[in-house]
Chain A
Amino acid sequence: MQITRRETMALGAAAAAVTVLPMPAMASAVDDAINEFTGGADVADGGVELDAPEIAENGNTVPIEVSAEGAEAIMVLAAGNPTPGVATFNFGPLAGAQRAKTRIRLAGTQDVVAVAKMSDGSFAKVSKTVKVTIGGCGG
């Protein structure tokens, strides 16, 4: 729980930024990105696997894994980051598995979203809340 003054101010600023940022603006950035990826097509819930920790051990490097059988591409968004776009993984016809693993940086507690483009042209989506906490009082 010990935090230096400098860290305190930085954390306080981060917390303030999270609360002050207008949520509709953020939501629309995510919606825009999804629309751009899908071309406005309907997106079904489920059909994509997203493995992410419930609580991040370190918000600066959060391991995630996405997979969707038969996907041509999977887009990953960090819905609460100032810039939500994380990556889009493209899988060619010779890909042995449609799976990708990486580490991402999360500005605070937020939903991580994965949208898959299937080979039949349909889209699927899943999201998971990853909590970023200051921690320190468990026992």
Chain B
Amino acid sequence: MNDTLNLKPGQVKGDTGIWEMVIGLEIHAQISSKSKLFSGASASFGSDANSSVSLVDAAMPGMLPVINKFCVEQAVKTGLALNAQINNTSVFDRKNYFYADLPQGYQISQFTKPIVGEGEIVIDLDDGNQTTIGIERLHLEQDAGKSLHDQHPTKSFIDLNRTGVALMEIVSKPDIRSPQEAGAYVKKIRSILRYIGACDGNMEEGSLRADCNVSVRKQGDAFGTRCEIKNLNSIRFIIQAIQSEAERQVDIIEAGGKIKQETRLFDTSTGETRSMRSKEDAHDYRYFPDPDLLPLEFSDSWVKEIKGTLPELPDTLKKRLVNDYGITDYDASILVEEKDFVDFYLEAANGVDGKLTANWMITELFGALKKENIMFLNSPVTPQKLGELIALISKGVISGKIAKDVFSDMMVTKKSPSEIVKEKGLEQVSDDKAIMKLIDKVISENQDKVKDYLGGKDKLLGFFVGQVMKLSQGKANPGLVNKLLKESLK
């Protein structure tokens, strides 16, 4: 048990010692285009079955694919954001296989000449460390249709709306060494994709999904045989699936068995992986260049133009938040995780205390939204109003404690903090005379305690401060109360 507790993430303890995981990820990201990769049918979700299908998507004879410029642009943009090689010439290939939701009988993909080559990204780990993960390639390809298997006992229902929607497949190098790193990698890719607007990153809706290649080895050994776990659509499942798959492989190898290279599925109910494809020729895709499509070529100047549209990315933004706004590394990494967070923050913190704004946003705002189950984008408290509240605190108009009440009010009424403070008369009382009045009252009502205090029970000062604050309904300036009390009790 102690041994298990001492294991680092990514290590599996077997009978023969400690094993190390080797993980590579293929992320499929749906490009946020209006129309499909090779046809003018809509790429949006949720329309009636087969209503977003053109004759190109349905693979009718004689139809020709024409590529979507926006999709090419997003692939280039993503490549640039991944610090990767952009290939000015790339080629589309046919990946041949039969399935009911693939009317062409092949998927148009890129095999030998992808649009984007090698790159790398830095990922942030939970312990605060960072590590670099290599990108092998990024290519453009078509999504397949959707099969419904639960509508009929002996039939499957096919909807081709998704057929031909543009995907980017982002392939990592086998540089990942633990399930946690895999999770952090997906988080980082998702964050970058959202920043640049290439993909909405919505894992529940399937706009972003990952295939995980997992093998195990003793440290320093050559790579073991890998298995591929298909189609994981949440970071939690990715972490669970990799862990359980690595443990399964260690058990097999230590029992004298061999790992069979295969495709596996993660069963979310059992938390284990199971074999998916039995046919040995399932991977015989017979790729060849698609004769319907010329090589994709573009100029350096177009790439440069696209580079000019790249927004500030999470890594540089994080540095800027720490350096210019004085917030902690940890807070900065929470804020840059989502572009919407950081946009909100920059607007709220404009002209006010950056550190205080970060605290309020992360603790109070995120907490309240989570409690009320409100989406961040629908926050009743706007950036300007949060900034205004911070200014009220910094200027001493209200105390931090009153500010929390004002904030709760803002969450419900959507009013501005100044309006609430004014309406309810919550301004902090910083007037000596008014506070002295309260102090006199407290002192006269608590003569016995005054005696004790003067007799040496210093701790009673807190009691008097509390009483005065209570009497002021929280509005007295606590610093001033403290100072005046000490003077009165000499």
Please determine whether chains A and B interact with each other in the same assembly: no
